[in-house]
Amino acid sequence: MRREICLEKKVVSANDRLAKELAERFRAAGILAVNLMSSPGAGKTSLLEETSRRLGGELRLAAIEGDLATDRDAERLRRAGMAARQINTGRGCHLTAAQVAEAIDTFDGPGRPIHLDSLDVLFIENVGNLVCPAQFDLGERRRVVIASTPEGDDKPIKYPVVFHTADCVVLNKTDLLEATFFSCEAFRQYVRGLAPKARILELSCRTGEGLEAWLDWLRAERASAKKC
């Protein structure tokens, strides 16, 4: 057991070194890199589709998509107008900084990187998993955790590690509030207990309700990244 823990630390610290390099590249390019984390099916890709449709004419956006298998999410984003690169992790339960670096360097194929200077925001959509991604820094400037009403309002206290590290918590699928047993008040209280400074945004990608506040948050964060 002791050896396992030591090795985990070693793997994480190797990742951290690469993540620091990525963070420096993002900082130098003045872009906002966002690590999106959630359970499977909470709406990460839906949020990016809507973001592309509403903000694509104003900011230069791109996405790196992490999934065990298929390139469905990258295809969905391209159809919504966002440049996207799929990473398939096989059995891998989270993205690593090395995978993100490779995706940047081969964004449009071998030897065809995406130029960070030509971007305003780079989204990194992690593997759908509310546990493991929290422990792997990808060099991001901001962490966004997406929850959704059908999952239940107690997810923050049952999966505290990922919520604890969030800069912004998005509650998606508010259109299903009445069809579920979800208490927004309880959810907000749980999030505040774990991440007192995190911005909490409630929205529905389906109806569009609340999306403007999300776009405003992105605009402000991007402006702040630009200044650094």
Q: Name the strand (E) or helix (H) holding 84.
A: strand 83-88
- Near a second copy by CB under 8 A: residue from 12, 23, 157, 215: 157
Contact 42, 147 (CB under 8 A): yes
The verdict on 160 binding a second copy (CB under 8 A) reads yes
CA atoms of 81 and 178, how far apart (whole Å)? 32
The verdict on 68 binding a second copy (CB under 8 A) reads yes
Which alpha helices (DSSP H) does 30-169 contain, by range? 44-55, 72-79, 97-105, 155-158, 160-164
- Near a second copy by CB under 8 A: residue from 52, 86, 148, 165: 148
CB under 8 Å to 91, separation ≥6 — which residues? 68
Closer residue to a second copy, CB minimum distance, 30 or 92: 92
Q: Name the strand (E) or helix (H) holding 13.
A: helix 2-29
The verdict on 183 binding a second copy (CB under 8 A) reads no
The verdict on 12 binding a second copy (CB under 8 A) reads no
Maximum distance among all Cα pairs of the chain, rounded to whole angstroms? 52
The verdict on 30 binding a second copy (CB under 8 A) reads no
User: Tell me, what amino acid is at 102?
Assistant: E
Closer residue to a second copy, CB minimum distance, 26 or 159: 159
- Near a second copy by CB under 8 A: residue from 27, 53, 59, 175: 175
Cβ of residue 149: shortest distance to a second copy, in angstroms?
A: 8
Residues 187 to 216 in contact with a second copy, rule: CB under 8 A? none
* Stretch binding a second copy (CB under 8 A), from 16-24, 48-56, 128-136, 211-219: 128-136
